[in-house]
Amino acid sequence: MSLQSEMLPLVQMTDIEKHFGGIRAVNGVSLDLFAGEVVGVLGHNGAGKSCLMRILSGAMLANEGTIKVNGEVAEIQNPHDARDFGIETIYQTLALADHLNAPANLFLGRELKTWYGDLDDRKMMRETERVLRKLNPNFKNLDDPVSKLSGGQRQVIAIARAIYFNVKILIMDEPTAALGPSETAMVGNLIKQLRTEGIGILLVSHDMHDVFELCDRVVVMNKGRNVGSHRIEDVTKDDVLSLIIKGELPDDWVPRGREMLQ
């Protein structure tokens, strides 16, 4: 028995259903995520992966199914509920306010106040500097509007905003989209760093290189169903593409690790 099988998952989504009229966008899907694990969630547009992640993030309500966090049933009706359970989402658009600087974005909607009820700008700057330097020691330009920052710097701010508020489960939607090679590598290193800190990450990505570089497992959605959940060392990129396109593995498939032993 593996160590992971003896652990309690951070998240268990069981028999999740989401219907839009007669269309089953998510059809009886189950998924789990453990502490310190990165799980890639893949599938074509319309496969149901985004709906599933929105349900976990509180942006969408399931028609059926249960969600457990640390073994306890979690009633997630909205994003505030999700945050109460330690679930944060970093969307592809990053949802940053372009005209505001890094501290204002980090604490947007959750501003720190003084004893007198005023905004504590000095403390927010100090805390922003601390958390950003933890992620990227070379981060500068804290006073600049984020519209002037690079894509990688903006991604660091979005990640900092999530981890500052004690995230346990992080949903990342295409975190390296539109980034150059060096910034993609930086974000990849940040994901690895968060994993070592015990954060569970659900990585939604179309980038197969990212998935095989960063993920421990892969979950593939096809036509609203979970058609495969595999350890990354057991599958090839062609295996995953077969799941994405056809909804099944090649006929002659055996786990890669087992194949090497034959």
Q: pLDDT for 212-244, tens place per residue?
A: 999 999 999 999 999 999 999 999 999 999 999
Q: What is the pLDDT of residue 172?
A: 93
Q: What is the pLDDT of residue 179?
A: 81
Are 34 and 10 in contact by the 8 Å Cβ rule? The answer is: yes
Average confidence (pLDDT) per 10 residues, the chain, 262 residues: 66 96 93 97 93 96 96 95 93 83 91 91 93 86 90 87 89 86 88 93 92 96 95 94 92 70 42
User: Which residue ranges make up each domain of the chain?
Assistant: 3-94+167-261
Are 42 and 221 in contact by the 8 Å Cβ rule? The answer is: yes
- pLDDT tens digits for range 28-63: 999 999 999 999 999 998 899 999 999 999 999 999
- Here the contacts of 160-163 (C-beta below 8 Å, separation 24 or greater) are 160/102, 160/106, 160/128, 160/131, 160/132, 160/135, 161/88, 161/105, 161/106, 161/108, 162/88, 162/89, 162/90, 163/88, 163/131, 163/135, 163/194, 163/199
3-state secondary structure of 145: coil
Q: Which residues of 225-239 are buried (b: 16+ CB within 10 A; e: fewer)?
A: bbbbebebebbeeeb
Q: What is the pLDDT of residue 6?
A: 59
Radius of gyration of the chain (CA): 19
Could you tell me the CA-to-CA distances from 212 to 144, 185, 231 in Å, in that order?
Answer: 35, 13, 10
Token pair belonging to 70: 């640390």
Question: Cα–Cα distance between 147 and 154 in angstroms, integer?
Answer: 8
Instruction: Write down the CATH number for the domain with range 3-94+167-261.
Output: 3.40.50.300
DSSP code of residue 191: H
DSSP code of residue 138: T
The whole-angstrom distance between residue 64's C-alpha and the CA centroid of its chain comes to: 22
Helix (H) or strand (E) holding 99: none
Token pair belonging to 2: 């593996």
Q: What is the pLDDT of residue 257?
A: 63
Q: Which residues of 139-165 are buried (b: 16+ CB within 10 A; e: fewer)?
A: beebeebbeebebbbbbbbbbbbbbbe
Q: Annotate 26-61 with DSSP letters as a single string.
A: EEEEEEEE-TT-EEEEE--TTSSHHHHHHHHHTSS-
Token pair belonging to 200: 């569970």
